[in-house]
Amino acid sequence: MPTTNAPDPARSSAAGSSATSSPGPSTAAVHAGEARQKPGFSLTDPIFASSTYTFPDTKSIIDFIEEKHPREEYGRYGNPGERVVEDKLAALEGGEQAVLFASGMAALVGLLMAHCSAGDEIVFFDECYHRSREFCRKHLTRFGVGFREVKTCDYAAMEAAITPKTKFLVSESPTNPHLSVVDVERFADLGRRRRVLTLIDATLCTPYNLKPLAAGVDFVLHSATKYLGGHNDLLAGTVIGRTELMEPVRNLRGIMGGVNSPHNAYLLERGLKTLALRMERHNANGLAVARFLESHPRVERVLYPGLESHPFHDVAARTMRGCGGLVTFFIKDSDWRRTADVVDAVKIPRIGPSLGGVESLIEQPLVMSYWNYSPQERQAFRIHDNMIRMACGIEDADDLIADLAQALDRT
Ligand SMILES: *Cc1c(COP(=O)(O)O)cnc(C)c1O
């Protein structure tokens, strides 16, 4: 679809549905969704920096409307470069259709607004991203959509919370910062049995580590700002699912307008090319750093699903290729200030929110995200004073470990 009115037969042929066996994650990351021959004989996809698209004459407009020719019309409804990224994301997840948004939150809002009406209810696992739950609790409720949350991975509690009005079951996996791992097959099965749509926010696992759609989940959502973009230089989000369920989402996006600039879409396409390579390193660094921290005398506890000590290690080992770069740990006998001293003493990870980029990041959740919360609220969210969250980048594990060692020994 990038340049002509006719569907492009070369589209996706390198790594798409016409291939006899489905390509591996690296091949898909590099080639899926892209035409074999591109405008100007360019190897890389061009950036179509255009807000609007022209027609040669009036008849062409009428043909476009009546015969639904696949071409662009206006930037809010689509851009050729954005479609390439959407096809690549759909291929990576093994889904029929991806819709790209300006951020992960725009994707969540777009999905829920497209499918929920007054009188419907949504049930969340309670460790989901706090802004996602806040949107439902404070805002969707104003439009008559009910909101409930139950303890994460308590499938019986989730089933008990389902009523005839329930429209969506929502979870994240792994969760942040506790890294609880949802058994996606069990979650999907619950939705199917009770005829409720299921959504997994798979930002932390990426399609490299887990394929929720293959497990039967209806929708996968990503903050592409994190691992998919991978370079801490863009914001984007996506929802992926069956075409019949994604069409209303695409139509609403065209009205709400939370779209990416063509330049941003290209940046995401470029980042995605190395997804599999980067994830291998994030997985290896996360595990190496978690093992080191678990053996350090100043560390009270480490949360990482790849460690045997993690409460969801078995589910992770059974369902995930790797556990990513996020590691949460607790400093022994330390109040928030002594914990902050450790954060301030590291030299390689920068101090800041977010995760999933090539640069390691470190933060104290109490300070970064929960400073204005009451002690009761922090306790409810299990945000402890001595908790540190490190998002391992793709640096050398030995360097990250040596840096953490000096920070722990010096403070
Ligand atoms: C960051 C994040 C979001 C929100 O995405 P944005 O791109 O920042 O809007 C949603 N879910 C998870 C799990 C995230 O980490």
The β-bridge partners of 362 are: 351, 390
CATH class as words, domain 276-410: alpha beta
Active-site entry in 87, 126, 183, 201: 201
Q: Which CATH number fits domain 25-272: 2.40.37.20, 3.40.190.10, 3.40.640.10, 3.30.390.30?
A: 3.40.640.10
Active-site entry in 83, 226, 250, 281: 226
> Rounded to the nearest 5 degrees, what angle is found at the Cα of 201, between the Cα atoms of 195 and 204?
145
Query: Tens of pLDDT along 220-243?
Result: 999 999 999 999 999 999 999 999
Mutation pick for ligand 1 pocket among 105, 172, 199 (CB with most ligand atoms within 8 Å):
105
Q: Is the pLDDT of residue 280 over 90?
A: yes
- Name the closest-CA residue to atom 4, ligand 1: 104
Residue 223 Cα to ligand 1 midpoint, Å, equals 4
Question: What strands lie across the sheet with 326-331, from one edge to the other?
Answer: 299-303, 326-331, 387-391, 361-363, 350-351
**Which tokens in the block code for residue 393?**
């980048």
Active-site entry in 11, 45, 88, 129: 129
129 catalytic per annotation? yes
Ranges of each domain in the chain: 25-272, 276-410
**235 pocket-lining for ligand 1 (C-beta < 6 Å):** yes
| Bond before 23 cis per omega within 30 degrees | no
Specify the pLDDT at position 245: 98
| Bond before 174 cis per omega within 30 degrees | yes
Average pLDDT of the chain, as a whole number: 94
Specify the pLDDT at position 21: 75
This prediction has a pTM of: 0.94
Specify the pLDDT at position 1: 35
Q: Is the pLDDT of residue 8 over 50?
A: no
226 catalytic per annotation? yes
Specify the pLDDT at position 399: 98
